[in-house]
Amino acid sequence: MPEWLLDASAWVLPVVLAITLHEAAHGWVAEKFGDDTARAAGRVTFNPLKHIDRFGTILLPGLLLLMQAPFLFGYAKPVPVDFRRLQPRRLGIFMVAIAGVLVNFALAIISALLLHSERWVTPEEAPWLFQNLYHSLLINVVLILFNLLPILPLDGGRAVSALLSGKARYWYGKTERYGIPFILLVLMIPPLLLNFSLIGLVIGEPALWLVEQILWLTGNGSGIT
């Protein structure tokens, strides 16, 4: 197998696993708060085929790889949630919003802990395994930071919306229609026209810092202060 294909394949499993569990977590928590819409749609499942979005799960990560972006991420089809059925509603919205982020954090910790397997098999003996583990750590950290951006319809935006009330929540909700186009413009335009990645600055550098902290927390590194 060509080396470039082997390297690219080491991204596939971490990306699919991170995105699949992230989306399934939204549906699972929504069900716990009284809305079984995701369950009825077959989205509370570990089957990645139920969550894959052709652009967000396949094409976007592929484009970022081709553009040699400083980070890699993607997204899946949004899990359907009827927020009106959540009880208590505002707490339900908040918990559904952060469920995916919490799962990504857990996956990042697990990936860092599994790096200790070098005690039994070295990275030189199993390079593909260790590439998968480090990529999983990095991808999950990037997904955490990306989804926590306070932009609707991202999870961070949903969490902020749950904390707002009255007119503030109403006007904040009006921004949702512009969220994804804005993110795509920020992702694509500066790197292509200005040779500068704003998202890389906002997410890439903090992601590397957080990776170091998780490695330190799990006994794999010195950490950064």
DSSP string over 15-69:
HHHHHHHHHHHHHHHHHHTT--HHHHTT-SSS-GGGT--IIIIIIHHHHHHHTT-
User: What per-residue confidence (pLDDT) applies to 183?
Assistant: 82
Q: Which DSSP string do the residues of 108-155 spell out, in sequence order?
A: HHHHHHHGGGGGTS-TTT-HHHHHHHHHHHHHHHHHHHHHTSS-TTSH
pLDDT at 21 over 70: yes
Evaluate whether residue 224 is within a structural domain: no
Evaluate whether residue 223 is within a structural domain: no
Evaluate whether residue 45 is within a structural domain: yes
Evaluate whether residue 58 is within a structural domain: yes
Give 149-152's long-range contacts (Cβ < 8 A, gap of 24+): 149/202, 151/175, 151/179, 151/182, 151/183, 152/176, 152/179
Between CA 129 and CA 106 the distance in angstroms is 19
What is the helix, strand, coil percentage profile of the chain, to 5? 70, 0, 30
Q: End-to-end alpha-carbon separation of the chain, Å?
A: 41
Evaluate whether residue 222 is within a structural domain: no
Residue with tokens 């704003």: 198
User: What per-residue confidence (pLDDT) applies to 225?
Assistant: 41
Tens digits of residue pLDDT in 44-76 = 998 888 888 888 777 877 776 676 665 566 678
Tens digits of residue pLDDT in 73-130 = 667 888 999 999 999 999 999 999 999 999 999 999 999 999 988 778 887 888 889 9
Give the length of the chain.
Answer: 225
- Contact between 15 and 139 under an 8 Å Cβ cutoff? The reply is yes
The radius of gyration computed from the CA coordinates of the chain, to the nearest angstrom, equals: 18
pTM of the predicted structure, to 2 decimals: 0.87
User: What per-residue confidence (pLDDT) applies to 25?
Assistant: 96
Evaluate whether residue 185 is within a structural domain: yes
Q: Which residues are designated catalytic?
A: 23
Domain count along the chain: 1
Domain residues for 91? 3-217
Q: Is 79 exposed, middle or buried (0-12, 13-18, 19+ CB in 10 A)?
A: buried
Evaluate whether residue 130 is within a structural domain: yes
Between CA 202 and CA 204 the distance in angstroms is 6
Between CA 44 and CA 21 the distance in angstroms is 9
Evaluate whether residue 137 is within a structural domain: yes
